[in-house]
Amino acid sequence: MGMKGVDVGYGAWLAMIAAAGTALAIAGAAGAQGLDAHALAAACASPAPVAENDYRCGLAHYLGKGARADAAEAFRRFMRAAEGGHTEALNNLGQMHLDRASRFHDERKGFALLLQAAEKGYAKAQYSVALLLEEGHAARQDLALARSWYRKAAEQDHPFAQNNLANLLRWGTGGGRDVPEAARLYQRAAERGVPSAAFNLAELYLEGEGVPRDTVEAHLWFTRAAAQGDKALKARIFDILSALEERMTDAERKAVANRNAQWRAERPVQNK
């Protein structure tokens, strides 16, 4: 196909932020930690000057969950938590500064705060810093440095970082080319449910780049990408699969049907 791999880029990232506030990076933190409204409200009620309590109370005010929705109070609480050494709060401040709809919008400040969180080892901030550096937003474009930060996040199993690092490795952007390593990273990200990674891996199998050429594997990963992707990706894949199926043997079609049935049966209930 000779296409650039499908990226999880800054434009898509901003679109997600615009659609759901900065919930892309902030709201997910509450879910990941299993924090319900009661736990968040308790943090706001606690008189103890503890960074974790300020962080949780910031989440409560940001999300309007366990406390009134109040971006200014969320910012103040995140700031106090960050001053107490809380890395996730530092990340959240950076995300709030990057939100173009926010009263706190200041991309340079946002990048500086995310860089601090990244340097402390926080994978989400490492991914964000890499993305901004790759696309030259809020900082001067530096593809080699972007690649370095993607790698740090990828090593912590951040799936979007794995996909984007794989793209740089696949095309030799910002450093040497390593297509087999790109294939390995695409597969890890695809197995974590990143549709663009599944699409990119399918391309490699179709072309025999970094992996053996395998029509069945290509079909399988295109199908998974379509099942998990947005309308634009689904439409793109529909034409590819139609052309691919015309060239497949009956044995290959049967193998694809069996493997897809197995995959659907094994998918977690929440993804069905």
Determine the pLDDT at residue 35.
Answer: 77
Nearby residues of 139 by Cβ (< 8 Å), 6 or more positions away = 111, 132, 133
Average pLDDT, whole number, for the chain?
89
Determine the pLDDT at residue 264.
Answer: 85
- What is the band of 7 on the pLDDT scale with cuts at 50, 70, 90? low
Residue 18 above 50 pLDDT? Answer: no
- What is the band of 267 on the pLDDT scale with cuts at 50, 70, 90? confident
Instruction: Using DSSP, state whether 91 is helix, strand or coil.
Output: helix
Determine the pLDDT at residue 20.
Answer: 37
Instruction: Using DSSP, state whether 22 is helix, strand or coil.
Output: strand
Nearby residues of 150 by Cβ (< 8 Å), 6 or more positions away = 126, 127, 130, 134, 161, 164, 165, 168
Average pLDDT over residues 123-151: 96
pLDDT tens, 73-97? 999 999 999 999 999 999 999 999 9
Residue 112 above 50 pLDDT? Answer: yes
pLDDT tens, 63-72? 999 999 999 9
Q: Report d(CA 227, CA 37) in Å as an integer.
A: 33
Determine the pLDDT at residue 23.
Answer: 47
pLDDT tens, 183-224? 999 999 999 999 999 999 999 999 999 999 999 999 999 999
Residue 17 above 50 pLDDT? Answer: no
